[in-house]
Amino acid sequence: MKDSMQQLMSAGTVWPFSGQLAGTGRRRAPPWPPMRLARDQPLYQAGEPVRELLYLVRFGAFKSCLPDGYGHAAVAGFHLREEVLGLEAIGRRQHRCSVVALQDSEVYEVRYRQLPNSHLCMQGLLSIATAQARNVAQMLRASDGDQRLAAFLLHMSTRHAAIGCSSRCFRLPMSRLDIADFLGMTAESVSRGLARLRSAGAIRLEQRLVTLSDIGCLQRMASSEPAVMAFVGGGRQAV
């Protein structure tokens, strides 16, 4: 079971405030230049001092990774455009996770004191993130890999809708290996699960571009018992 810090890493929290950043005179975008990161470049790494910054994603995508103490960093969450990074570091001296760009990306650095009504703003962001993290935790509790995969696609659909993008057709910025790591599956199981969802008519897939052809079907799959899922696509493979 994930602790509260890990849950915050898994949630995608969109910047929710229509008000201005303190002293900027702008909505959402600060007037200072964004910071550009190349694909696979870390925004910050586990063990680094916390700089009392939040990061607002201007474009691109990121993944959060949590070291397991054995040389592996498990994928703990994904973050899209207009979402906020760094919430899990609030109140800490060192970062416990690393955040890495999945593609060429840009972020705005926002200091805590620049938030409008900073204390209330932080509480609001944490409250939103915690509520969203509960949904992610419920998704990851599903015992069946295909259930988790269907729920993940619905989750990404909701995330894209929240930033004003299509909820039915979107590009997944992460690799299948990253999806597998996040969902507690193997990359082969993710590939087979996507093939079954496609065979069932729930999705269309062109490399990383996914179209949700039948959201109702995905919702039924996400909530089905494993015994029901065994009949989807001619039988399940072990996760």
- Distance of alpha carbon 172 from alpha carbon 165, whole angstroms: 13
The CATH code of the domain at 142-234 is: 1.10.10.10
Q: Taking Cα atoms as reference points, which of 130, 132, 136, 159 lies closest to residue 222?
A: 136
pLDDT at position 130, please? 67
CATH 2.60.120.10 fits 4-133, yes or no: yes
> How much is the pLDDT for 223?
85
What 3-state class would DSSP assign to 128?
helix
**CB-CB contact of 79 with 10 (8 Å):** no
pLDDT in tens, 76-116: 999 999 888 998 888 889 998 999 999 999 999 988 877 76
C-alpha to C-alpha distance for 211 and 157, rounded to whole angstroms: 10
Output the pLDDT for position 59. Answer: 92
Residue 187, number of CB atoms within 10 A of its CB: 14
Kindly give the residue spans of alpha helices, DSSP state H, lying in 74-232. 118-141, 145-162, 176-183, 187-199, 215-223, 226-229
Sheet holding 62-67, edge to edge: 42-44, 98-101, 62-67, 73-79
At 180-199, the pLDDT tens digits run: 999 999 999 999 999 999 99
The pLDDT, as a whole number, for residue 124 is 65
Q: Which of the residues in the chain have pLDDT under 50?
A: 1-9, 16-27, 226-239
CATH 1.10.10.10 domain extents, the chain: 142-234
Selection from 185, 182, 190, 37 nearest residue 102 by Cα: 37
86 forms beta bridges with none
User: How far is residue 212's CA from residue 190's CA, in Å, rounded to a whole number?
Assistant: 16
Please give the DSSP secondary-structure letter assigned to residue 113. G
Domain with CATH 2.60.120.10 in the chain: 4-133
Which residues, in sequence order, are bridge partners of residue 2?
none
pLDDT of residue 163: 86
